[in-house]
């Protein structure tokens, strides 16, 4: 059984359910632990499959005064704390390996491709490929979209450090992009403990311009430099849509990386985003959202 977790409010629930459906398409043996930030999300997920296990945010707020105060004082930062907070809770509660996934991630193949590639490594991270690891930057070297933690001492200690640093707003030099840049500190670990993306293809608004899509229609692969890789997951960060107008915007703030005209001029890239929008519309209809 593979244990996964994500977080959202009701506005992002359609994306979370699209994530769930993409996982289900390739791997029926998993549980998605879903932290619900509001009543509507929790109530809606109560009626769903046993593969989705909803948790209500109020159970965590009542047990942690710092988390509760953050929700009142800075809701955006409060949301940033929840990836590390919820993952730390689950690793300790279940004594299992946990993979955290942002609710706007979509899998094109089985998540087992990632789990198997990580192998015995304690922590699995995925780069911001447009930024060399040798050069620090304000957004951090790694994306919080998918982060894997084994149930090992090394992983548990690192996860506890991440949770504590974000929750209590420590290490201001790493507090430049929500909870994300804190992951840079994991580079201090022994390399034998750390997996950094391996042969896993992944896409996002800040990475699409790096890829050649010539073989995507044939074998589902993208080419990054001299590396041909199966596209395993995409991060649809700041993907906005209108059901009323039957339209979408691929990403509202990342055009400095992937220009808007690329989404329409590259058929494979357009197809990836058209399909995601179709999945969003399907989730609204099938789940009565």
Residue that terminates a domain, selected from 196, 227, 246? 196
Q: Rounded to the nearest 10 degrees, what angle do helices 153-167 and 75-94 cross at?
A: 160
Distance CA 272, CA 61 (A): 38
b vs e for 142-175, b when ≥16 Cβ sit within 10 Å of the residue's Cβ? bbbbbbbbbbbebbbebbebbbebbbeeeeeebb
CB hemisphere CA count around 267 (13 angstroms): 4
Residues 145 and 249 in one domain: no
Q: Which of 226, 216, 209 is nearest to 260 (CA)?
A: 209
Instruction: Write out residues in the chain with pLDDT < 50, as ranges.
Output: none
Q: Number of structural domains, the chain?
A: 2
Calpha distance 9→16 (Å, rounded): 9
pLDDT of residue 47: 83
pLDDT at res. 258: 87
Residues 213 and 192 in one domain: no
The 10 Å Cβ neighbour count of residue 34 is 25
- Residue 124 is predicted with a pLDDT of 97
- Per-residue pLDDT, 128: 93
- pLDDT, residue 191, reads 87
pLDDT of residue 14: 98
Helices 267-286 and 13-26, packing angle to 10 deg: 110
Domain that holds residue 210: 201-286
114 and 206 both lie in a single domain: no
Query: What is the per-residue pLDDT for 210?
Result: 96
Report the pLDDT value the prediction gives residue 132, as an integer from 0 to 100.
87
């Amino acid at each position: 059984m593979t244990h996964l977790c994500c977080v959202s409010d009701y506005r992002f629930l359609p994306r979370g359910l699209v994530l769930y459906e993409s996982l289900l398409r390739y791997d029926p043996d998993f549980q998605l632990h879903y932290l619900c930030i509001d009543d509507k999300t929790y109530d809606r997920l109560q009626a769903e499959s046993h593969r989705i296990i909803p948790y209500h945010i109020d159970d965590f707020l009542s047990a942690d005064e710092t988390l509760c105060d953050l929700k009142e004082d800075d809701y955006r930062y409060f949301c940033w704390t929840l990836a590390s907070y919820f993952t730390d809770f689950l690793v300790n509660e279940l004594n299992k390996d946990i993979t955290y996934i942002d609710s706007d991630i979509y899998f094109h193949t089985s998540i087992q491709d990632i789990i198997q590639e990580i192998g015995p490594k304690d922590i699995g991270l995925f780069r911001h490929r447009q930024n060399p690891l040798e050069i620090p930057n304000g957004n951090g070297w790694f994306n919080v979209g998918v982060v894997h933690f084994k149930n090992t001492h090394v992983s548990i200690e690192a996860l506890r450090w991440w949770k504590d640093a974000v929750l209590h707003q420590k290490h201001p030099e790493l507090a430049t992009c929500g909870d994300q840049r804190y992951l840079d500190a994991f580079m201090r670990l022994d390399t034998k403990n750390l997996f950094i993306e391996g042969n896993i293809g992944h896409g996002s608004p800040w990475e699409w311009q790096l890829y050649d899509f010539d073989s995507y229609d044939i074998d589902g692969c993208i080419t990054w430099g001299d590396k041909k890789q199966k596209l395993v997951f995409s991060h649809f960060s700041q993907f906005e849509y209108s059901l009323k107008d039957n339209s979408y915007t691929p990403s509202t703030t990342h055009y400095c990386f992937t220009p808007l005209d690329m989404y329409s001029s590259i058929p494979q890239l357009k197809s990836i985003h058209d399909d995601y929008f179709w999945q969003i519309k399907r989730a609204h209809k099938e789940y009565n959202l």
